[in-house]
Structures are given as C-alpha cells and as structure tokens.
Amino acid sequence: MARLHLFDLDGTLLYGTAAPVEISRQLGLEREIAELERDFVAGHIDSGQYALRVHALWEGLTDTHVTAAFDGAPWLTGIRETWDAIRSNGDYCAVVSLSPSFFVERLLAWGAHAAHGSLFPDVPFTEPVNPTGVLTAAAKVEIANRLCEEFGVRAADCVAYGDSLSDLDLFAAMPVSVAVNADPRLVDLATHTYVGRDLWKAYELVRIPVIEALDEGGLLNSE
C-alpha cells in the first residue's frame, strides 16, 4: 500500500526561518517582517490578515528577489535524496504550507508530487491577494484529504512532518507524524521527534524498507 508523506515548509524544510522572512530579507525588510511574524505567532492576526499585510509589504517584489530568497534559504540537507527515495518506493511526497504559492511551488522541481501554498497573485504584484485563498491549519487537513483521494492513498497511510502550531490539526488527523525542530506543544502530539538539519534522518524514523514491506504483505516466500 502506497504512503503519502506531507511536509510543512517554514521551520520544517527551512531551518529556523520561513519563506516570507527570506523573501523580505531580499527587500531589506527584516525589521518589518519580524514584527509581522511576532503578531502572527502571538495570535494577534490570522493567516488572512498576515497575507494582506505581507502583500502590501512586498510592493517592489520581483521574480529575481524570489529566486534569490529560494536559492539562498537555509534548507535542510537531504531533501531531494529523501523525496527520490520516497518516489522509488512507490510512495508520494507533497508540501503543504501557509507560505505563498509562488515560493512553495518551486519545490515541484525538487521532486515533490504536489506543492500547495497560500494563493498569491503572480510576481510582480498587479492584483490584490484574495484572503479566501490563504491557507489555515484546518485547510492543511482538507488538502491532505484531497491528495489522498488523488493518489489513491488511505489516510491511515499518511505521514505528516511539521514544526509549529499551524501543524497541530494535521498531526491530530494523521496516524504517524514527525515533529521536526518543533514547538514543544507539537512534540507532545507527534509519534516521532527529530532535531537537526538532515531531512533524511527525520524520514528514517518512519521509513519502511522495501524488503520489510514485502515481507509484511506476504509477498516473500509465497510460492
């Protein structure tokens, strides 16, 4: 039976930072994004309000800025190798993040089967952001369920990887979860915990070797 591995982006695939922070750094807006992040983490604004404010903050954003932010971000090592292994096992990997879609979708080129982020207009912005397209913690679960249907995977065969309170709903809905460099409140809910900068080591906590899976399925020595 195929499995679906669901990865958060900010603080999970990115070590100690978030896509909006890295994008804002390219625009020299470190102080402004830090204030916005504090408001969001403290619960003073929701994800829709955050999107509206960050959209206004990025008035001069270009694709060159986004590329520089993506290429220069502190990614965990082993992302492509991990996703290659997932694919070779016949499993699926997807990224589901509250960060802007134009950043998240770049991970399709690294081997993700799907990448979902909050819907932002194309860069440079000529249109406003629509708050209804901004993801929430609950939306992550809805997307996970849609992906299960799309890939023909049971919810019981999903693995979630995350780090923050925006992953609480997803962790509660998934039977297997890996807290990666995570908030203690998420760690308490996770079935596995990883601290470090190598995604492969986090994946190893839940990896089922092909030989073991075949044996459990009764496909070995079945003459």
Mean pLDDT of 174-185: 96
Residues with Cβ within 8 Å of 120's Cβ and at least 6 positions away in sequence, in order, are 51, 55, 100, 101, 102, 129, 133
91-148 tens-digit pLDDT:
999 999 999 999 999 999 999 999 999 999 999 999 999 999 999 999 999 999 999 9
- The per-residue pLDDT for 215 is 47
Biggest CA pair distance of the chain: 67
28-77 tens-digit pLDDT:
999 999 999 999 989 999 999 999 999 999 999 999 999 999 999 999 99
Residue 16 and residue 181 in contact, taking contact as beta carbons nearer than 8 Å: yes
- Average pLDDT of the chain to the nearest whole number: 93
Tell me the CA distances in angstroms from 104 to 92, 116, 160, 221, one per residue in order. Answer: 17, 7, 17, 44
Domain boundaries, the chain: 4-15+76-216
With bands split at pLDDT 50, 70 and 90, how would you rate the model's confidence at 1? confident
213 pLDDT exceeds 80?
no
Instruction: Provide the CATH topology of domain 4-15+76-216.
Output: Rossmann fold (3.40.50)
